[in-house]
């Protein structure tokens, strides 16, 4: 074993540009697949009597300096646990490498000391660095004073210095600082310095390995991105400060990422007071807190393909000076809101409305999509204040199908904030409908009062269409014009007090019905000239006299 010469201090060629250039999470090219065999070997090495013997055993499978560092790193991260008891009683604690090895536990000082000692036995230059960290117990926006609180390492590979933190690579301590859990974290192995500075501020600023270097004030103000943020392929978040002030009751956050990612959020423990939209490369979140004061905001993410749980990737504090009462959302609103790459995957293509909010002045609106193959759609309208039953919530929406296009025509029963929920299922697989997404519909015009659409029965086929009357409520003692688009039918009758046949011309069935002397009007069809019975397809009510 060669003893290494005195390490050189960091110089120009060690420096990386700040801010991060979004290229790599590592400070040198690393192919993790090539480490698989070495990693598995290192985990199995079981030597506790001497550090020299341990290094000797680990290096059997390591050729390059990078492989030697990797083997040492893997062994420490999987065999040394964080000493939560020792942390609270440091006078009883030895950080000597041999003691750390034999005890199998230590605090950061011991991890970094063992790492440095093992590297020096392996002939690799390594430094122990100390400084401030945004680790366990860190509070957003806090200032750092007094002595440093954390220790990590720099290693010299391929003519450059690189940073790593085996304490944080090994696992995590719970919030009460009483229990350590081994949970390997690849992020802290040769971390890119522009990312490492996010939660490690060395006492000697040269060891940031950055140009320009950051001040302690920069470090305090900068947004803390934890390792989940980068490991999930997220790139940047705006704003970049930990505290956000609302402007006129609104605050906005956005995240950029490489690939399709699913997000959720909690503001003060709930997702009721925001509108989150998914973008192809990230998400946008508009918040409207309904109370003044300071609120904790957490943002969670997971890869779109995975059934994984959501991981917290960002935390902010939102300071709300005034409340925008108009943006109080209905309880039924689900996040994310509006169409996205996710709804496209479910077969809802080319939406007419890309925004999550649809504004209507006269209480009417219509949303169109091109539908993927074999999709049956169900839509319903929800509102906090009205007595809109589930059935009536569906009756205020009419589906119109033209080829593979679907139009949802909506007539609101009154002013207010509504949720339009859209469900789908495969026609070929007639199970339950799955919830896909929703829109927020806002109407401020208090004079709005649209009746529901007519009630339809099972014989009403999806590509039939009502042109008139659209209202389910017909005037009393009047002649009412009917115009319906239906195909494959022999006869159509409108049954009021008397029966009124409709005549067919150019694909439409038309005619007039008189509403005198009846409370209900039915549209009935003869599907086949040879049949003697009629099927009900639509039902209307008649206004009382």
In the predicted structure, residue 1 carries a pLDDT above the cut 60: no
Supply the pLDDT for residue 5: 65
The last residue of a domain, from among 216, 249, 281 = 216
The structure tokens listed for 235 are: 């790139």
Residues facing 277 on adjacent strands:
284
Residue 378 has pLDDT above 70, yes or no: yes
Check which CATH number belongs to the domain holding 80 and give it: 3.10.620.30
Closest CA to 524 of 508, 505, 503, 501: 501
- Which among 277, 289, 295, 272 is positioned nearest to 324, based on CA atoms? 289
Q: Are 183 and 245 in a shared domain?
A: no
Instruction: Give me the mean pLDDT over the 412-428 stretch.
Output: 95
Whether the predicted pLDDT of 529 surpasses 80: no
Range of the domain at 285: 231-320
* 1: in domain: no
Judge if 345 and 462 occupy the same domain.
no
Q: Which two tokens stand for residue 117?
A: 């000692």
Closest CA to 125 of 9, 274, 220: 9
- Chosen domain end from 265, 288, 320: 320
210-211 and 16-17 as β-strands: parallel, antiparallel, unpaired?
Answer: parallel
The secondary element (H helix, E strand) that includes residue 19 is: none
**Do residue 352 and residue 477 come from a single domain?**
no
Mean pLDDT of 401-406: 94
Residues 6+ apart with CB under 8 A from 524: 492, 493, 494, 495, 534, 535, 536, 537
Residue-wise pLDDT for 289-322, tens only, equals 999 999 999 999 999 887 778 999 999 999 999 9
Residue 136, token pair as written in the block? 């366990």
Is the domain of 295 the same as that of 397? no
Q: Is 94 helix (H, G, I), strand (E, B) or coil?
A: coil
| Predicted confidence (pLDDT) per residue in 68-83, tens digit | 999 999 999 999 999 9
- 494-507 pLDDT, tens digit per residue, is 999 999 999 999 88
Bridge partners (DSSP) of residue 252 are 286
Do residue 59 and residue 164 come from a single domain? yes
Cβ-in-10-Å burial (0-12, 13-18, 19+) of 432 comes to exposed
Residue 366 to residues 363, 399, 418: CA-CA distances in angstroms? 10, 10, 14
User: 């003692």: which residue's tokens?
Assistant: 477
- With 60 as the cut, is the pLDDT of residue 481 above it? yes
Report the alpha-carbon distance of residue 285 to residue 220 in Å, rounded. 24
Spatial distance between the Cα atoms of 127 and 161, rounded to a whole number of angstroms: 9
Residues 67 and 99 in one domain: yes
DSSP state for residue 470 in the 8-state scheme: -
Report yes or no on 336 lying in a domain: no
Q: Are residues 87 and 150 in the same domain?
A: yes
Q: Which residue has the higher pLDDT, 379 or 462?
A: 379
Q: What tokens appear for 34 in the block?
A: 């090539």
Torsion of the alpha carbons at 187, 191, 194 and 196, rounded to the nearest 10: 70
Strand-pair category, 126-133 with 150-157: antiparallel
pLDDT at res. 361? 97
Same domain, 168 and 78: yes
User: Measured between alpha carbons, how far is 77 from 188 in angstroms, rounded to an integer?
Assistant: 10
**What's residue 195's pLDDT?**
97
What is the residue-averaged pLDDT of the chain? 94
Say if residue 421's pLDDT is above 90: yes
> What confidence category does residue 3 fall into, taking pLDDT thresholds of 50, 70 and 90?
low
Evaluate whether residue 79 is within a structural domain.
yes
Overall domain count for the chain: 4
Q: 505: which residues sit within 8 A by CB, 6+ positions away?
A: none
Whether residue 336 is preceded by a cis peptide bond, meaning omega within 30 degrees of 0, is yes
Residues 87, 126: one domain?
A: yes
> Which residues belong to the active site?
108, 150, 165
The verdict on residue 296 lying in a domain is yes
Q: What distances in angstroms separate CA 292 from CA 164, 296, 401, one per listed residue? A: 42, 12, 46
Asked if residue 535 belongs to a domain, the reply is yes
| Residue found under tokens 């942390």 | 87
Q: Which residues contact 240 (CB under 8 A, 6 or more apart)?
A: 222, 223
Q: Does any domain span residue 161?
A: yes
Task: Quote the pLDDT of residue 391.
Answer: 87
**Pair 89, 130 in one domain:** yes
Cβ(420)–Cβ(334) under 8 Å? no
Among the listed residues 330, 251, 357, 329, the one whose alpha carbon sits nearest the alpha carbon of residue 297: 251
CATH number, domain at 272? 2.60.40.10
SS (H, E, C) 323-361: CCHHHCCCCCCCCCCCCCHHHHHCCEECCCCCCCEEECC
Q: What is the DSSP string of 401-460?
A: EETTEEEEEEE-SSSEEEEEEEEEEETTS-SPPEEEEEEEEEE--TT--PPPPPEE-TTS
What is the model's pLDDT at position 530?
Answer: 74
The predicted pLDDT at position 305 comes to 82
Which of 157, 185, 216 lies at the terminal end of a domain, its last residue? 216
Q: pLDDT digits over 220-272, tens only?
A: 988 888 899 999 999 999 998 888 999 999 999 999 998 899 999 999 999 99
Q: Are residues 426 and 492 in the same domain?
A: no
In SS3 terms, 264-315 reads as: EEEECCECCCEEEEEECCEEEEEECCCCCEEEEEEEEEEECCCCCCCEEEEE
Asked if residue 137 and residue 157 are part of one domain, the reply reads: yes
User: pLDDT per residue over 33-47, tens digit each?
Assistant: 999 999 999 999 999
> Which residue would you say has higher pLDDT here, 183 or 258?
183
Is 23 contained in some domain? no
Helix (H) or strand (E) holding 10: none
Q: What is the 3-state secondary structure (H, E, C) of 497-522?
A: CCEEEEEEECCEEEEEEECCCCCEEE
Q: For residues 439 and 161, what is the distance between their CA atoms, to the nearest angstrom?
A: 52
Residue identified by tokens 């117990």 is: 137
Tell me whether residue 389 is in a domain.
Answer: yes
């Amino acid at each position: 074993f060669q003893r290494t010469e005195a390490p050189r201090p960091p110089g120009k060629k060690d420096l990386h540009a700040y801010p991060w250039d979004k290229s790599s999470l590592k400070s040198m090219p690393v192919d993790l697949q090539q480490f698989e065999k070495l990693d598995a070997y290192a985990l199995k090495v079981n030597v506790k009597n001497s550090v020299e013997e341990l290094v000797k055993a680990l290096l059997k499978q390591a050729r390059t300096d990078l492989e030697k560092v990797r083997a040492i790193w893997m062994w420490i991260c999987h065999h040394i646990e964080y000493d939560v008891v020792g942390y609270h009683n440091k006078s009883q604690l030895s950080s000597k490498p041999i003691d750390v090895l034999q005890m199998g536990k230590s605090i950061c000082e011991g991890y970094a000391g063992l790492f440095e000692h093992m590297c020096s036995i392996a002939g690799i230059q390594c430094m122990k660095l100390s400084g401030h960290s945004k680790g366990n117990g860190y509070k957003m926006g806090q200032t750092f004073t007094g002595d440093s609180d954390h220790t990590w390492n720099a290693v010299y590979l391929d003519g450059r210095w690189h940073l790593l933190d085996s304490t944080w690579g090994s696992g995590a301590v719970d919030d009460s600082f009483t229990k350590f859990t081994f949970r390997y974290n690849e992020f802290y192995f040769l971390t890119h310095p522009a990312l490492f500075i996010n939660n490690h501020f060395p006492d000697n600023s040269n060891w940031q390995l950055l140009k320009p270097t950051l001040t302690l004030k920069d470090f305090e103000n900068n947004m803390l991105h934890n390792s989940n943020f980068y490991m999930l392929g997220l790139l940047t978040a705006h704003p970049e400060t930990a505290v956000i002030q609302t402007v006129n009751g609104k605050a906005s956050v956005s995240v950029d990422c490489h690939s399709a990612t699913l997000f959720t959020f909690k503001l003060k423990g709930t997702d009721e007071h925001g509108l989150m939209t998914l973008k192809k490369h990230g998400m946008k979140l508009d918040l409207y807190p309904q109370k003044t004061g300071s609120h904790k905001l957490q943002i969670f993410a997971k890869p779109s393909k995975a059934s994984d749980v959501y991981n917290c990737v960002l935390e902010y504090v939102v300071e709300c000076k005034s409340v925008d009462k108009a943006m109080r959302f209905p309880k039924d609103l689900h996040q994310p809101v509006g169409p996205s790459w996710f709804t496209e995957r479910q077969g809802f293509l080319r939406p007419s409305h890309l925004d999550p909010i649809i504004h209507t002045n006269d209480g009417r609106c219509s949303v169109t999509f091109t539908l993927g193959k074999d999709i049956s759609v169900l839509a319903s309208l929800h509102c906090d204040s009205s007595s809109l039953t589930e059935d009536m919530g569906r009756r205020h929406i009419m589906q119109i199908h033209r080829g593979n296009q679907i139009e949802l025509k909506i007539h609101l029963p009154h002013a207010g904030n509504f949720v339009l929920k859209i469900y789908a299922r495969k026609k070929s697989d007639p199970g339950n409908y799955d919830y896909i997404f929703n829109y927020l519909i806002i109407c401020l015009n208090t004079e709005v009062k649209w009746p529901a659409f007519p009630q339809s029965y099972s014989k009403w086929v999806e590509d039939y269409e009502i042109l008139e009357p659209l209202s389910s409520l017909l005037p009393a003692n009047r002649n009412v014009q009917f115009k319906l688009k239906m195909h494959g039918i022999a006869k159509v009758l409108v049954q009021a007090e008397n029966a009124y046949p409709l005549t067919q011309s150019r694909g439409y069935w038309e005619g007039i019905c008189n509403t005198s002397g009846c409370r209900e009007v039915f549209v009935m069809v003869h599907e086949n000239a040879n049949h003697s019975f009629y099927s009900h397809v639509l039902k209307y009510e008649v206004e009382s006299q």
